[in-house]
Amino acid sequence: MKKSPVYKRILLKLSGEALQGRQKYGINPQVVRTIAEEIKDIKELGLEIAIVVGGGNIFRGGVADNKDLARSTADYMGMLATGINALALQSALERIGVDTRIQTAIEMRDLAEPYIRRRAIRHLEKGRVVIFSGGTGSPYFTTDTAAALRAVEVGAEVILKATKVDGVYNADPVLHPEARRYSRLKYMEAIKKRLKIMDSTALSLCMDNGMPIIVFNLRKKGNIKRVVEGETIGTVVEG
């Protein structure tokens, strides 16, 4: 029996690392194709889908360890990397018949539309998947903050944060097998405990606007669909 989604409009946050799969750098075409197919599956449920993509598989601005490279410059380089990932994801989606638009916070006229809130909402209403690239367009802000900002701006009901683990733990489950997974968390609890969900700016923005976050394992096939159909998986962060 076909299930109905519990949301109408979502924002999916994909890290750059999600697109590289198990390789150490760059874009894995097979992984991108698999993600695109899962997005198509939930699109066919009638969902309106916005996506924010990171750039850490190519260049991570905030952790650039280079004394000769200004933090702002490094962040702009990271923003440009998100544009490459957005193009890869758009190509994979359109190959399987999903109509998409890329909107960018940094002007790239030949590749993407500039970010315009009303236009983004109109694309969603027309059934197009909207991919947001370029972060917020300003240095010192992560793509997690961009995801929180765009979700609030376009009226998404939830942020789905796709990761490589099945939720939020009280310690790194790779290094600490005894680590305990949270099924539900409050925003303030996540901020106080410095849990690695999103940066504090993103969490505060979600808290101030009542935007729930669901953290789940992207590597388990079908998980995106399970989340939007209301199955209890991963960790829910809310007020």
**pLDDT interval class at 170 (50, 70, 90):** confident
Cβ contact 171:118 at 8 Å: no
Cβ contact 204:191 at 8 Å: yes
**What are 67-98's pLDDT values in tens digits?**
778 889 999 999 999 999 999 999 999 999 99
Closest listed residue to residue 34, CA positions, set 14, 52, 57: 14
Tell me the whole-structure pTM to 2 decimals: 0.93
Three-state secondary structure call for residue 2: coil
- Residue 129 burial (CB < 10 Å; 0-12/13-18/19+)? buried
**What are 13-36's pLDDT values in tens digits?**
999 999 998 888 999 999 999 999
Output the average pLDDT for the chain. 93
Q: How far apart are the first and last CA of the chain?
A: 33
Closest listed residue to residue 81, CA positions, set 25, 165, 13: 25
Cβ contact 45:8 at 8 Å: no
**pLDDT interval class at 177 (50, 70, 90):** confident
Over residues 106-116, the mean pLDDT reads 94
Which CATH number, 2.60.40.730, 3.40.50.300, 3.40.1160.10, 3.40.50.2030, labels domain 9-238? Answer: 3.40.1160.10
Give the span between the Cα atoms of 212 and 237, in whole angstroms: 6
Over residues 158-169, the mean pLDDT reads 92
Give the span between the Cα atoms of 222 and 67, in whole angstroms: 43
Three-state secondary structure call for residue 101: strand
Cβ contact 151:11 at 8 Å: yes
